Chains A and B, each alone.
Chain A
């Protein structure tokens, strides 16, 4: 299963980004192969529609779960339709590595 995590930087030690649409990096983690892929967010500076555009990017990677600090209303509707689960981690002090560790434990 593939999981997308929003991150503030391109290392495993960077924090989870509290925003979804305008996060700095997307981290794609595969729970089976344990592979990690970093993708810079192209919609970071966009004025409008960052959420839906980012949702498109994430969905095209075939993920089943998305972890971020918060999601907007438009994004929620899109992911509901695509049957992708949203996970919110309100305190953004967790690092990407910690999230991956938690995902591994729950496997």
Chain B
């Protein structure tokens, strides 16, 4: 791909600015878990995936499914920057009748591949997509993002068994390990650790990466691409609310509001680095 790492890093910050713009002032928005995914989603949409914003239904495209659907804002930012719809739509997110719903909706939003947000279901859907593409002998890959809080849902582990049983090696999963869920630290609620050992035991190829290091994400994807015969998961170590000083690692910004001051500060911090 021609796009440089530096350009991708700048894009990731741009997507964060889009997130802030969508959250706005005095309205709740899933800021934390969207910001933790900025680099991963940037790499997927602007470096990795075969896709065509002019032709969202292109049969040879790779698929992206956000199982942790509450982080829809980061996908909306990536879709808008890719050109799936006008950027003005970002200003209307969650408004009555808007294209951009609170959780991804394929019926309203071009580029969204499935309806997710009831946690634990997206991974099963991604497995089904991977199986369907394999029946048709497509080369396309399926990328799915799950959360570390989400894996308390038992269906995740049903899907984990399925993917290994059917040897879905066209499925690549990112586990967004930002360590916080809606009400507090994951480990203090329903400890889902140890992660790598669990996924290995379920028959997956497991890799780990700094989820905010573009170079490392790309290199890790290159490495897992060489693995065949089993599904792959990349445990991405991330920071919830990454890039916004007052929101980093702060539970309140899982689904929080910004004051005017916070909104301006977030914008100036992200713009300064851009």
Q: Do A and B bind each other?
A: no
